[in-house]
Structure 1
Amino acid sequence: MLKRWYGDKDHREQDSAEKQTKINELRAAIGPLSGHSLLFCSDACLRRYLEARNWNIQKSKKMLEETLKWRAAYKPEKIRWDEVAVEGETGKMFRANYLDRSGRTVLLMKPGNQNTTSQDNQLRHLVYLLENAIMNLPPGQEQMVWLIDFNGWSLSNSVPIKTARETANILQNHYPERLAVAFLYNPPRIFETFWKIVKYFLDPKTFQKVKFVYSKSGESSSLLEEVFDMDKLESSFGGKNNHQYDHAEFSKLMQQDDVKTAEYWAMGDEVTEMNGNSTSNHDLKVNGNATAQS
Structure 2
Amino acid sequence: MALFGKKKKEEPPAVDPSKLIKTEVPFDTLPVGSKIPEERKLTDEQQEKYKLILKHFQNPDLQVYTTEKNPAEKKPLSEYEKAWLTKECFLRYLRATKWVVKDCIDRIEGSIAWRREFGITGENDTVTPELVSEEGETGKEVILGYENDARPILYLKPGRQNTKTSFRQVQHLVFMLERVIDFMPPGQDSLALLIDFKQYDDVQGHQTSKIPPVNVGRQVLHILQTHYPERLGKSLLTNIPWLGWTFLKIIHPFIDPLTREKLVFDEPFPDYCPVEQLDKLYGGYVDFTYKHEVYWPKMNEIATQKRDHYHKRFEKFGSIVGLSERDLRGDDEELHHPVEQLWEAEHPKQEGSTDKVPEPVETITEKVEALQV
Scaled by the length of structure 1, the TM-score of the pair is 0.79
**Structure 2: distance between partners of 1:196 and 1:279:** 39
Pairwise CA distance, 1:239: 2.6
Structure 2, unaligned runs of 5 or more:
1-39, 63-76, 201-206, 334-373
1:249 aligned partner, one-letter code: V
Pairwise CA distance, 1:238: 2.9
1:89 aligned partner, one-letter code: E
Runs of 4+ in 1 over 4 A off after TM superposition: 264-271, 281-290
1:120 alignment partner in structure 2:
167
Pairwise CA distance, 1:259: 3.7
Pairwise CA distance, 1:150: 1.1
Distance 1:131 1:66, change over 3 A: same
Q: 2:254 aligns with which of 174, 193, 201?
A: 201
1:59 alignment partner in structure 2:
103
1:5 alignment partner in structure 2:
none
**The residue matched to 2:98 in structure 1 has which SS?**
coil
**Structure 2: distance between partners of 1:61 and 1:137:** 25
1:3 alignment partner in structure 2:
none
- Is 1:229 the equivalent of 2:274? yes
2:91 alignment partner in structure 1:
47
Pairwise CA distance, 1:230: 2.6
2:141 alignment partner in structure 1:
93
**Structure 1: distance between partners of 2:298 and 2:134:** 15
1:71 alignment partner in structure 2:
115
Structure 1, unaligned runs of 5 or more:
1-11, 214-219
1:256 alignment partner in structure 2:
301
1:175 alignment partner in structure 2:
228
- Paired residues of 1:81 and 1:254 also in contact (CA < 8 A): no
* Bigger fraction of residues in helix: 1
Scaled by the length of structure 2, the TM-score of the pair is 0.64
Task: Please tell me the root mean square deviation across aligned C-alpha atoms, in Å.
Answer: 3.1
Distance 1:194 1:126, change over 3 A: same
Distance 1:124 1:45, change over 3 A: same
- Is 1:19 the equivalent of 2:46? yes
1:120 aligned partner, one-letter code: F
Q: Which has the larger radius of gyration?
A: 2
| 1:232-268 superposed Cα distances (whole Å, 9 cap, x missing partner) | 3212223332222221221121331464377468779
Q: 2:181 aligns with which of 108, 111, 134?
A: 134
1:242 alignment partner in structure 2:
287
**Structure 2: distance between partners of 1:115 and 1:137:** 28
Count how many residue pairs are aligned between Structure 1 and Structure 2.
267
Pairwise CA distance, 1:106: 0.4
Pairwise CA distance, 1:190: 2.6
Instruction: Report % sequence identity.
Output: 29
**The residue matched to 2:286 in structure 1 has which SS?**
coil
